[in-house]
Amino acid sequence: MAGDRPEGGEVPLLYSEGNVAARVALEREVRGWSTTELAERVTRAGIKMNQTAVWRIENGTPRRRINLDEALAFTRVFELPLEELMSPPLEGLDIASRRLVQEAVEAFYETRDARDRLHHAVVAISDHIKAHPDSSRAIHEQCLRLMGDERDARTLSNDIADGGHY
């Protein structure tokens, strides 16, 4: 197209299929997945793909095109918004740094989900105690038995008494 190649060079696009291919390779490498494992994950996400297709997307000459359904499957597998998958990889981060960031992000979401689960469980116990006040002492003793640590059990009991974890 006119204007795409000034002076014979390619103009990098903010969002492009080339970016998706580069991000697929990068995100796969960051997670330590083989092309076969990525293909299996994409297939489990609902889009049949084999290892050769992944390799051709990442390395082929010409590169294998990516259709919208495949791009959406990659977003599900990598847990990235489509806009992020289409964006060029950030400069200045090596694979080791990206892996560390990926690990931190996964731990953050796991912690957030666990905190939410804890909050809902504490609210349910608090509501149960309100409906059955005679069970309060036994519930607190059970917390101590299961946790083994009096300080942690006291913290959980205080959350229950306060009606929530947050």
Question: How is the chain split among helix, strand and coil, in percent rounded to 5?
Answer: 70, 0, 30
How confident is the model at residue 4, as a pLDDT?
Answer: 38
- Residue 3 φ/ψ region, left for φ over 0, alpha for ψ in the -120 to 50 degree band, beta for the rest: left
Flag whether the pTM goes above 0.85: no
- Contacts of residue 24, defined as CB under 8 A and 6 or more positions apart, other chains included, come to 38, 54, 57, 58, 66, 74, 85
Q: Do residues 40 and 28 lie in contact, with contact meaning Cβ atoms separated by under 8 Å?
A: no
**What is the DSSP secondary structure assignment for residue 15, as one 8-state letter?**
S
Provide the pLDDT for residue 13.
Answer: 54
Residue pLDDT tens, the chain, 166 long: 443 333 444 544 556 788 899 999 999 998 999 999 999 999 999 999 999 999 999 998 889 999 999 999 999 999 888 888 888 777 777 777 877 888 898 899 999 999 999 999 999 999 999 999 999 999 999 999 999 999 999 999 999 999 887 7
